């Protein structure tokens, strides 16, 4: 069963309200503002060049469309599920907030993703348990395809 589709204004308010629950709300909302545009798909020519992400909704569902450095369109992720769209946004933001600087990666023994995944789950759990569980599932799928490499 499909969720009731929010219009773009309702969608932006909902996403921000979810992020406001987190102890990391300042960082999360800042990244959302810098990276995401909640807008009608056809308004992209009126805005900055990439990279950024457009979030929009229409009768086909919710869309998350990446725009590259030169304005090229990347994969349009579509879903009818609000939780899937929010998770996709929050997962991306958590990645940027949990990716260690290069100097830390060089000094870290083992696969740096251990630290990054742990931090992402902490960020997701601070928003809602639903996103935490979705994050655990995503990490398990990633590690099935690409196991940790601790250089041993």
50: pLDDT confidence band, cut at 50, 70 and 90? low
Which residues make Cβ contacts (< 8 Å) with residue 32, sequence separation at least 6? 15, 16, 19, 89, 93
The pLDDT tens digits for 9-42 are 999 999 999 999 999 999 999 999 999 989 875 5
The number of C-alpha atoms within 13 Å of 132 and in the hemisphere containing its C-beta is 11
- Please tell me the distance from the alpha carbon of residue 112 to that of residue 104, in angstroms, as a whole number: 9
Q: What pLDDT is attached to residue 101?
A: 67
Per-domain residue ranges of the chain: 8-145
- Please tell me the distance from the alpha carbon of residue 7 to that of residue 39, in angstroms, as a whole number: 10
The pLDDT tens digits for 106-125 are 556 677 788 889 999 999 99
Q: What pLDDT is attached to residue 1?
A: 41
Burial annotation 9-41 (CB, 10 A radius, 16+ → b, else e): eebbeebeebbeebebbebbbebbeebbbbeee
Name the least confident of 14-18, 41-45, 136-140.
41-45
The pLDDT tens digits for 77-89 are 888 899 999 999 9
Which residues make Cβ contacts (< 8 Å) with residue 91, sequence separation at least 6? 120, 124, 131, 134, 135, 138
Q: Give the CA dihedral 65, 119, 139, 36, nearest 10 degrees.
A: 0
Q: What is the mean pLDDT of residues 121-136?
A: 97
92: pLDDT confidence band, cut at 50, 70 and 90? very high
């Amino acid at each position: 069963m499909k969720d009731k589709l929010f219009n773009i204004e309702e969608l932006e308010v909902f996403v921000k309200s979810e992020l406001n629950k987190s102890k990391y709300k300042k960082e999360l909302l800042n990244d959302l503002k810098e990276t995401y545009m909640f807008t009608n798909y056809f308004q992209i020519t009126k805005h900055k060049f990439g990279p950024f992400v457009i979030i929009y909704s229409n009768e086909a569902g919710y869309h998350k469309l990446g725009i590259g450095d030169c304005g090229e369109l990347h994969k349009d992720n579509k879903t009818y599920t609000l939780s899937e769209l929010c998770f996709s946004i929050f997962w991306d933001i958590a990645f940027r907030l949990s990716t260690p600087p290069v100097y830390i990666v060089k000094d870290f023994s083992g696969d740096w993703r251990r630290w990054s995944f742990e931090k992402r789950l902490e960020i997701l759990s601070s928003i809602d348990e639903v996103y935490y569980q979705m994050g655990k599932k995503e990490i398990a799928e990633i590690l099935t395809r690409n196991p940790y490499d601790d250089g041993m």
